[in-house]
Chains A and B, each alone.
Chain A
Amino acid sequence: MVAASGVPVAMPRGRSLWDDAFESLRRNRAAMFAVALMAAVVVLVLAGPWLSPYTLDSTDWERISAAPSLSTAHWFGTDDVGRDLFVRTLHGGRISLLVGLAATSVSLLIGIAWGATAGYAGGRIDQLMMRVVDVLYAMPFMFFVILLMVFFGRNIFLIFVAVGAINWLDMARIVRGQTLSLKKKEFVEAARAGGVSPVNIVRRHIVPNLLGVVVVYVTLTIPQVILVESFLSFLGLGVQEPMTSWGALVNDGAQVMETAPWALIFPATFLALTLFCFNFIGDGLRDALDPRDRRSGA
């Protein structure tokens, strides 16, 4: 035996399903364009504010509601108190993307743990855990948010909590459904016959196999969360001044739409572009991870 005698053998790395999926994603032009565009937006949002001579809350008293202009370095114009919209739009982007990522991560962690546990345990535990989800579903979301705001005041973290607390419910249901079908698979039975503990079965065999569906769902959840935050900000329940988000900027811009259209156009364009990108990436991922598309190997 070559291996037993200690002679090192070259062991070529195999192609995992993820490798396959990424290659097929790379061939999807729409998705790759969306990835590139998204990357550009992220870089701009992170680095952009330094390019401008203005800061988030500095007011330029000479130019109130000024139109975009290269010479004044107000590239996106100013709002009705003379703050630079370029800086504010990019700062707003940071908040919007942060809310999207943070709230989605919260829902991802709780949702996967909850759903996989319920699905794998089955029986009474499953019933109990899913009834909890049903009860939480029944709570009116806006009422819940307003209640939080009234009790704890307006705070960015409350938005993460509120949105995450609602979104994990969907995730838990999706993950539970996947788990139910996965746990009947023969490789899970083989693992049980091999004495693998339930925790390790969920960790090693169930979760990696449902990540495909989860990833697709995440790319659709992030824009949804951004929209929810925008909606809250639009209602005046979102971030607090001087901080801002795309939703809050769109709200402000909508009120001066006739006199200063740039105050609406720029944040709205960024918001729309981001949503567009996430949806295209999600679509591409769904195609790339679709198991029907994959050769069966037989």
Chain B
Amino acid sequence: MTVPQPASLLAVDSLSVTYRSERATVQAVDALSFALQAGETLGIVGESGSGKTQTALALMGLLPATAAVSGHARFGGHDLLALSEHELNTLRGQALSMIFQDPMTALNPHLTIGRQMARVLERHQQLSRRAALTQAAQMLDRVRVPEARARLQQYPHEMSGGMRQRIMIATALLCRPQLLIADEPTTALDVTVQAQILLLMRELQQELGTAILLITHDMGVVAANCDRVLVMRSGGQQETGPVDAVFANPQDGYTRELLAAVPRLDAEQPRRLAVVGRTAGGVASVPDYQPADQVVLQVSDLQVRFAAGRTGWFGPRRWLRAVDGVSFSLRSGETLGVVGESGCGKSTLARAVLQLLTGYRGQVLLLGENLGDLARAEMTARRRDLQVIFQDPLASLNPRMTVGDIVAEPLQTFQPQLSRTQRLTRVQALLEKVGLQPEHVNRYPHEFSGGQCQRIGIARALISGPQLIICDEPVSALDVSVQAQVINLLMDLQQEMGLSLIFIAHDLAVVRHISHRVLVMYLGRVAEIAPRDALYKAPRHPYTRALISAVPIPDPQLERVRTRTLLAGDVPSPLNPPSGCAFRTRCPLADARCAAERPVLRTVGESEVACHHADALALA
């Protein structure tokens, strides 16, 4: 079955992409061969730098002039790699289309949607403007863009990310291409929107018979959407085969490690994540660390709002309620996961707790002391107990300072009496603890990989000996295997030092893996807070339920039988949240009461839920 049939739609034969510069030669793609049948979906999966995007760009003839391409790619009687620019242009957009990761930068911000879509049809099918616009509107209907006609007059910035990606898909499919190359089409989108887009792509594929080359780093997306999968690593093929076979019984060691490194939403008990290239096979289980009873952090009715201009010159000032009445507590040694889609106020919550923004309302009690009441000098002293780890590992380190200086900086504030050598000793001990070499103190951040930079950030957060560390998406910029290392490190450190963690993330599987309790946020409000197992096994809020159901699980057989509760539409603007329950515009259970009355958090079973229908949902 895996033998390429003679009639395959696309047959790639020993494709290589090489970059040569004065200093080095980089083999981005190394003799890659694969075939794709008509109407089939092939997933190309790999970590960053594995050459998956380079492969796609090579097929589309979009590589920069500095790249040397060799090999063959037979597609409908042509060799894609040998075509002239002119010949490629008649194929591209017609028989062969591509959608990109970021729908904002892939659309021209200066042209209306209609103009951009019509141009494709005018070029390839010689349609008149009027006929082209009619077809474009029909295609927008097909990708379920509401009010398609009116959308044609709009510009890309007037739409949400999910809507823009639908428009990209509609544009790509206008000429009914035989092959669609999708490069990380849902990576920039929220899970609920990702689920919508992936379902749409599957449906369109059945309707139009388009073959799809789906490039992604997410094993779950592959399992749910592909017929066959190709695992890439450093430019070459590691393993290929039907998804069922590869996921159930991976032949290649790297594939096995990659699969083991992903935290799974359906795992029985969270286990220690396997680390690619380190532990072969032997996977220890995580001793479940029990938090103590002492309350470290108590947040009550926290509200943060930002001024967002006025309506008109003399109109009332508009406010963006980023965090709208959030309360929770955190015990010593506990990890509280905070999840929610982009713009739900997770990061703002973190900054308010850290006292990095002023002018919030409500109370933040750290070890019983209200941080908002403290004078500046007292607050500076208190910061010793309250540290932070950021999302972008490189951006969170000052590029002009050495690693030693970066890690030692909090010591200069909190323990100025230490001598230079004492500081160095402390820094080196800590670097060793987070898995770096102590002799790296004189190096600069850009000399380290993303995962190593994140370890440096962790060392800096630990050096003052804090009680509480707020991790703001600490692993979302990292590859799966590096993510596993960092998560393991955080869990080990917590156990060893009794740290309390607030772990903010959008990946529900990662949060499940690391958290004792989970807080789900929607539009600045708490939808649900519950102990981990209660939340994932019996979600009480319809939003939690939809979020969990939207996450793809890296198991193709399970994915096929799973039923999804898909949410309609996108997250509303926090500038203008819906009345009553913020979630009601997308909620399948919404009724008149939800529009009239804002639900308060109340206890249902083990969970605290803000939903009028929580009891009904608990019974269902």
Chain B minimum-CB-distance residue to A1 = B429
The reply to whether the CB of B464 lies closer than 8 angstroms to some CB of chain A is yes
Within 345-387 of B, Cβ neighbours of A (below 8 Å) are at: 351, 354, 356, 380-381, 383-384, 386-387
Q: Which residues does chain A contribute within 8 Å of B537, judged by CB atoms?
A: none
Counting CB contacts under 8 A, is B424 at the interface?
yes
B293 within 8 A of A: no
Nearest Cβ on chain A to B387's Cβ, whole angstroms: 6
Q: In the bound complex, what is the Cα–Cα distance between A187 and B389 (angstroms)? A: 10
CA–CA, A4 and B425, complex, Å? 6
CB neighbours of A297 from chain B (8 A): 394, 445-450, 453
| 8 Å CB interface, B406-420 against A | 409-410, 412-414
Given the contacts A1-B428, A14-B444, A209 and B394 also touching, CB distance less than 8 Å: no
A208 x B400 contact (CB < 8 A) = yes
Residues of A within 8 A of B409 (CB): 191, 194, 196, 204
- Given the known inter-chain contacts A15-B444, A294-B446, please indicate yes or no for A2 contacting B464, CB distance below 8 A: no
Inter-chain contact A195/B394, CB cutoff 8 Å: no
Q: List 12 A-B contacts (CB under 8 A).
A: A3-B432, A11-B440, A14-B403, A15-B447, A186-B392, A187-B395, A190-B457, A191-B398, A209-B400, A297-B394, A297-B453, A298-B450
Q: Once the chains are docked, how many angstroms separate the CA of A55 from the CA of B388?
A: 67
Which residue in B400, B403, B410 is a CB contact (below 8 Å) of A17?
A: B400
Contacting residues, chain A, for B446 (C-beta < 8 A): 17, 294-297
Closest A-chain residue to B414, C-beta based? A195
Q: How far is the CB of A126 from chain B (nearest CB, A)?
A: 16
Q: Which A residues are in CB contact (< 8 Å) with B386? A: 193
CB distance from B539 to the nearest CB of A (A): 32
Cβ-defined contact, A2 with B398, below 8 A: no
Q: Which residue on chain A has the smallest CB distance to residue B411? A: A194
Q: How far, in angstroms, from A10 to B441 measured CA to CA in the complex? A: 10
In Å, the complex CA distance between A190 and B391 comes to 11
Chain B residues within an 8 Å CB radius of A1: 428-429, 432, 438
- Tell me which residues across on chain B come within 8 A of A13, comparing CB atoms: 442-443
For residue A281, give the distance in angstroms from its CB to the closest CB of chain B: 21
Q: Is A209 within 8 A of B442, CB to CB?
A: no
A204 touches B401 (CB 8 A): yes
CB distance from B531 to the nearest CB of A (A): 29
Bound Cα distance from A197 to B413, whole angstroms: 8
Query: Please, which residue of chain B has its CB at the minimum distance from the CB of A188?
Result: B398
Q: In the assembly, what is the distance between CA of A3 and CA of B356, in Å?
A: 34
- Chain A residues contacting B440 (CB-CB under 8 Å) are 11, 14
Q: In the assembly, what is the distance between CA of A187 and CA of B438, in Å?
A: 22
Residues of chain A whose beta carbon lies under 8 Å from any beta carbon of chain B: 1-4, 9-17, 185-187, 189-197, 204-205, 208-209, 294-298
Contact status B396-A187, CB under 8 Å: yes
> Is the Cβ of B399 less than 8 Å from the Cβ of A11?
no
The range of chain B's interface size is 35 or more
A194 near B464 with CB under 8 A, answer yes
Query: Would A14 and B439 count as touching, CB distance under 8 A?
Result: no
CA distance A12 to B397 in the complex (A): 20
- Most-contacted residue by chain A among B391, B394, B439, B444 (CB, 10 A): B444
Bound complex: CA of A4 vs CA of B431, how far in Å?
12
With CB as the reference atom, state the residue of chain B lying closest to A206: B398
Q: B391: which A residues are within 8 A, CB to CB?
A: 186
Contact A204 B398 (CB under 8 A): yes
User: Are B356 and A298 in contact, with the CB atoms below 8 A?
Assistant: no
Tell me if B70 is interfacial: C-beta within 8 Å of chain A.
no
Residue of A189, A294, A296, A298 with most partner-chain B CB within 10 A: A298
Closest to A298 in B: B450
The residue in A10, A12, A189, A208 that gathers the most chain B C-beta atoms within 10 A of its C-beta is: A189
Which residue of chain A lies nearest to B432 when distances are taken between CB atoms in the complex? A1
CA distance A186 to B428 in the complex (A): 23
Q: Are B396 and A194 in contact, with the CB atoms below 8 A?
A: no
CB <8 Å contact, B394 and A185 = no
A192 to B383, CA, bound (A): 9
Is B540 among interface residues, defined by CB-CB distance under 8 A?
no
Residue on B with the closest CB to A193?
A: B388
Distance (whole angstroms) from the CB of A32 to the closest CB of chain B = 16
The docked-state distance in angstroms from the alpha carbon of A12 to that of B395 is 23
**Complex Cα distance A252/B386, Å?**
69
Residues in B whose Cβ lies below 8 Å from that of A195: 380-381, 383-384, 410, 413-414
B327 within 8 A of A: no
Contact assessment for A187 and B398 in the assembled complex, using a CB-CB cutoff below 8 Å: yes
Contact A9 B414 (CB under 8 A): no
A191 to B387, CA, bound (A): 10
A141 to B399, CA, bound (A): 39
Residues of A within 8 Å of B442, CB to CB, are 11-14
Chain A CB within 8 A of B402 CB = yes
A4 near B428 (CB under 8 angstroms)?
yes
A14 in contact with B399 (CB, 8 Å): no
Chain A hits for B394, CB < 8 A: 296-298
Q: Of residues B384, B403, B438, which shows the largest number of chain A Cβ atoms within 10 Å of its Cβ?
A: B438
Partner pick for B438 among A3, A294, A295, CB 8 A cutoff:
A3
Cα distance A27–B443 when bound, in Å? 23
B445 touches A16 (CB 8 A): no
Which of A4, A190, A194, A209 makes the CB contact (< 8 A) with B390? A190
Is B460 among interface residues, defined by CB-CB distance under 8 A?
Answer: yes
Q: Given the complex of chains A and B, what is the CA–CA distance between A13 and B447 in angstroms? A: 11
Q: Is the CB of B383 within 8 A of A3?
A: no
> Once the chains are docked, how many angstroms separate the CA of A208 from the CA of B446?
16
Q: A16 touching B400 by the CB < 8 A rule?
A: yes
Nearest neighbor of A3 in chain B, beta-carbon distance = B428
- Flag B124-153 by CB within 8 Å of A: 1 or 0 each: 000000000000000000000000000000
Q: Are A12 and B413 in contact (CB under 8 A)?
A: no
In the complex, B33 has a CB within 8 A of chain A: no
Q: Shortest CB–CB separation between residue B612 and chain A, in angstroms?
A: 38
